[in-house]
């Protein structure tokens, strides 16, 4: 019997993403939402050439991968470690009569040893806070390092995170959470300060919420040069459907040293 208080692991997250509730949630978004306006703005700003060979880590049900194709990118590879979501991504591409998109099963922490990935990509993306759904800071750094190995020098990396300091509500919540950690009364399943594990309409979700300094340190430690970051609301006014689907987040753009 599974221990309900066991520490969150990558296998926990993988199981949550393969759960039918999560599969339906992300598949619906892939079919109905497509790219957010903020994502489109960032992609067109930092990925200017449609001939770029792009890698999308944590592609899920294909929302962004198919969105890239529809923007005119024809050399796109997506991978994810949740098999059920990958099946949905392939189904979406087939439904849209897209031929040429490649979807592979892979773990962001350990994929670049495959010669098919080594320094072949002109850019990479890890969207909708996917990097922050990897438990353990050392594992998130492993993922950034793997993306570094897969990309050519100067390649852009676009990803998003939440931000513990983005609003008065977040700051108040994390002050209380700091008190819980100080007294040992935090959720026993989480690994680090900044972790949350909750259940909503998307199913069970693990998420690490960093502050800005943490991400800057992680980029520097893994060979990426920070170029730009901004909160989503400063980039675009999203539709109600996008805002219902996703909370505020911070966009990050780094380049491979």
pTM of the model: 0.95
Q: Average of pLDDT values for 122-134?
A: 98
pLDDT (0 to 100) of residue 2: 63
3-state secondary structure 151-190: ECCCCEEEEEECCCCCCHHHHHHHHHHHHHHHHCCCCCCC
Does residue 220 fall inside a structural domain? yes
Q: Average of pLDDT values for 15-29?
A: 97
Q: What percent of the chain has pLDDT over 70?
A: 99
Does residue 4 fall inside a structural domain? no
Does residue 5 fall inside a structural domain? no
89-109: per-residue pLDDT in tens? 999 999 999 998 999 999 999
Compute the mean pLDDT over every residue in the chain, rounded to the nearest whole number. Answer: 96
User: What's the structural domain count of the chain?
Assistant: 1
Does residue 82 fall inside a structural domain? yes
- pLDDT for residue 88 is more than 90: yes
Does residue 69 fall inside a structural domain? yes
- pLDDT for residue 119 is more than 90: no
- 44, two tokens: 């067109």
Query: Residues 6 or more apart from 256 whose CB is under 8 A from it?
Result: 148, 151, 152, 153, 154, 155, 156, 157, 223, 224, 225
- pLDDT for residue 55 is more than 80: yes
Does residue 1 fall inside a structural domain? no
Does residue 3 fall inside a structural domain? no
CATH of the domain at 81: 3.40.50.150
Please say whether the beta carbons of 146 and 108 come within 8 A: yes
Q: What's the CA gap between 190 and 175, in Å, rounded?
A: 17
pLDDT (0 to 100) of residue 41: 98
- Residues shown for the chain: 257
186-216: per-residue pLDDT in tens? 999 999 999 999 998 889 999 999 999 999 9
Q: What's the CA gap between 112 and 114, in Å, rounded?
A: 5
Q: What's the CA gap between 60 and 48, in Å, rounded?
A: 24
Residue-number span of the structural domain to which 100 is assigned: 10-256
- pLDDT for residue 1 is more than 90: no
Instruction: Tell me the sheet residues that pair with 160.
Output: 251
């Amino acid at each position: 019997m599974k221990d309900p208080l066991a520490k969150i692991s990558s296998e926990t997250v993988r199981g949550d993403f393969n759960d039918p509730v999560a599969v339906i949630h992300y598949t619906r978004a892939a079919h109905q939402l497509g790219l957010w306006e903020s994502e489109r703005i960032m992609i067109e700003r930092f990925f200017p050439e449609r001939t770029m060979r792009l890698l999308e880590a944590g592609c899920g049900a294909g929302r962004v991968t198919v969105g890239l194709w529809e923007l005119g990118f024809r050399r796109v590879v997506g991978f994810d470690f949740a098999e059920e979501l990958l099946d949905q991504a392939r189904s979406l591409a087939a439904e849209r009569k897209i031929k040429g998109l490649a979807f592979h099963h892979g773990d962001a922490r350990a994929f670049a040893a495959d010669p098919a990935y080594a320094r072949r990509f002109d850019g990479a993306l890890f969207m909708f806070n996917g990097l922050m759904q990897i438990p353990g800071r050392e594992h998130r750094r492993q993922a950034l390092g793997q993306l570094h190995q897969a990309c050519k020098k100067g390649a852009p990396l676009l990803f998003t995170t939440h931000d513990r300091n983005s609003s008065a509500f977040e700051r108040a919540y994390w002050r209380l959470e700091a008190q819980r950690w100080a007294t040992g009364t935090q959720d026993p399943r989480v690994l680090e300060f900044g972790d949350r594990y909750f259940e909503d309409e998307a199913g069970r979700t693990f998420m690490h919420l960093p502050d800005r300094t943490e991400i800057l340190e992680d980029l520097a430690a893994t060979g990426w040069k920070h170029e730009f970051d901004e909160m989503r609301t400063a980039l675009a006014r999203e539709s109600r459907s996008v805002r219902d689907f996703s909370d505020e987040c911070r966009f990050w753009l780094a380049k491979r040293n």
